[in-house]
Amino acid sequence: MHKKVLVTGGTGYIGSHTVVELIQKGFSVVIADSLENSDITVLDGIEKITGVRPIFEKIDLSINYPTIELFKKYQGFSAVIHFAAYKAVGESVAEPLKYYRNNLNSLMNILEGMSVTNTPNLVFSSSCTVYGQPEKLPVTEQTPIQEANSPYGNTKQISEEVIRDFIHINEEINAVALRYFNPIGAHDSALIGELPIGIPNNLVPFITQTAAGLRESLSVFGDDYNTLDGSAIRDYIHVVDLAKAHVIAIERLADKINKSRIEYFNLGTGIGISVLECIKSFEKVSGKKLNYKIVGRRPGDIEKIWADTSFANRELNWKAEKTIDDAMLSAWNWEKNIRKIQQ
């Protein structure tokens, strides 16, 4: 079987973990990344873990010509996993055009490259953000999509529609859209992990950076939600569990056992965890007391969401295996590794 896979955004957080899983399953990988939100040294981590250094192409995929040339150069990828995108919700509100331009142009260029070179299979990084605050929990793939509450979220909704319309006229091409819930954690080796630039927006890197002494204290955004302890609830999924689902998705497409030309899967654990529970988990696995304070709600935040994962469990024969404690420990080990913290 021909197994050369193009991984866009492959030096990024979720991309790098997926590249490791792909290599370990015998795929040969070409990474295409602009390095705008990742570092070339990620390749060293991937090589240390797998013994293989993937081919790397530094490229801005939002520019049409070089993207099409990339596809022509490697004639015959068996699949594309398209991670490359900007992902900061707040920044997307401040600079919407930057987000629409990058996320949508990149996708359209990738689709054109696939069609020009007869590349058959696409796995796309979508997000639970497409559901907004659902009325009924947990959310299934049939839960209605709500009007996006940020330009970032809107790029994911539009992207799903662009892919749907594109495969409609490109009958050889099939796609899977994976709607991730909240990816956290790092590889067990602590050789790759999340590398947020500047002050982290996301909870877990903020927790580990606070514990590492880079931030003074974590602000818990709200303790007056209608939840058991008042803090907001999310479905936190270990990035390695998430990465594994991508390998299964491209194998499913390669084996042609997909049930429709575009399929959507919720990738979460199915378990809702509050911010305060996350802090407790971190304190337990790290043995460190976290400095935190309760502040007001963060504008735009939803109260609670978690996934119904039964469709992914059944169809992909995949299940998130790692716990919140596993994820927190791996995130902390990664933070300690990059900050050179001993204990």
Residues annotated as catalytic (active site), given as ranges: 152
Measured CA distances, 39 to 192, 207, 240, 297 (Å): 11, 22, 19, 33
Shortest distance (Å) from residue 67 CB to ligand WQD: 23
Contacts of 91 (CB under 8 A, 6+ apart): 98, 99, 152
Residue 304 is given by DSSP the state B
**166-195 residues near ligand WQD, rule: CB under 6 A:** 182
The torsion angles phi and psi of 198, rounded to 5 degrees, stand at 75, -150
Q: Give the residue, chosen from 5, 31, 38, 244, that forms a contact with ligand NAD under the rule CB under 6 A.
A: 38
Indicate the residue among 13 and 264 with the shorter CB distance to ligand NAD: 13
11 binds ligand NAD (CB under 6 A): yes
Q: How far apart are CA 188 and CA 330, in angstroms?
A: 6
Q: Which residues pair with 174 in a beta bridge?
A: 121
Distances (CA, A) of 260 to 33, 101, 129, 317: 30, 29, 23, 17
> Quick one: which segment of 60-68, 167-175, 206-214, 221-229 binds ligand NAD (CB under 6 A)?
60-68
The reply on whether position 306 binds ligand NAD by CB under 6 A is: no
206: partner contacted, choices ligand NAD, ligand WQD, none (Cβ within 5-8 A by kind): ligand WQD
Q: Which does 175 bind (CB under 5 to 8 A by kind): ligand WQD, ligand NAD, none?
A: none
Q: Please identify which residue in 125, 269, 274, 330 interacts with ligand NAD, judged by CB under 6 A.
A: 125
Report the alpha-carbon distance of residue 93 to residue 114 in Å, rounded.
Answer: 31
15 lies in the binding site for ligand NAD (CB under 6 A): yes
The closest of 86, 121, 117, 91 to 104, measured between CA atoms, is 86
CA distance linking residue 322 with residue 67, whole number of Å = 36
Residue 84 binds ligand NAD (CB under 6 A): yes
Examine residue 193 and tell whether it contacts ligand NAD (CB under 6 A).
no
CB of 204 to ligand NAD, least distance (A): 10
Q: Two tokens at 317?
A: 């024969």
* H-state helical runs in the chain: 13-24, 42-50, 64-73, 89-94, 96-99, 105-116, 151-169, 203-211, 239-254, 275-286, 310-315, 324-339
Q: Is 311 a residue that touches ligand WQD (CB under 6 A)?
A: no
Q: How far is CA 215 from CA 82, 126, 220, 280, 290, in A?
A: 33, 30, 14, 18, 11
- Which of ligand WQD, ligand NAD, none interacts with 218 (beta carbon under 5 to 8 A by kind)? ligand WQD
Q: Specify the residue, 22 or 275, whose C-beta has the smaller distance to ligand WQD.
A: 275
Judged by beta carbon distances under 5 to 8 A according to partner kind, the member of ligand NAD, ligand WQD, none in contact with residue 232 is ligand WQD
Contact 177, 164 (CB under 8 A): no
Q: For residue 228, give every residue at least 6 positions away whose Cβ sits within 8 Å of its Cβ, in sequence order, or none.
A: 274
For ligand WQD, the closer of residues 173 and 246 by Cβ is 246
Among 102, 227, 266, 281, binds ligand NAD (CB under 6 A): 102
User: Which of 5, 6, 7, 12 touches ligand NAD (CB under 6 A)?
Assistant: 12
Binding site for ligand NAD (CB under 6 A): 9, 11-15, 33-38, 59-62, 83-87, 102, 106, 125, 127, 180, 182-183
Binding site for ligand WQD (CB under 6 A): 87, 89, 127, 129, 182, 201-203, 206, 218-221, 232, 234, 275, 298, 301
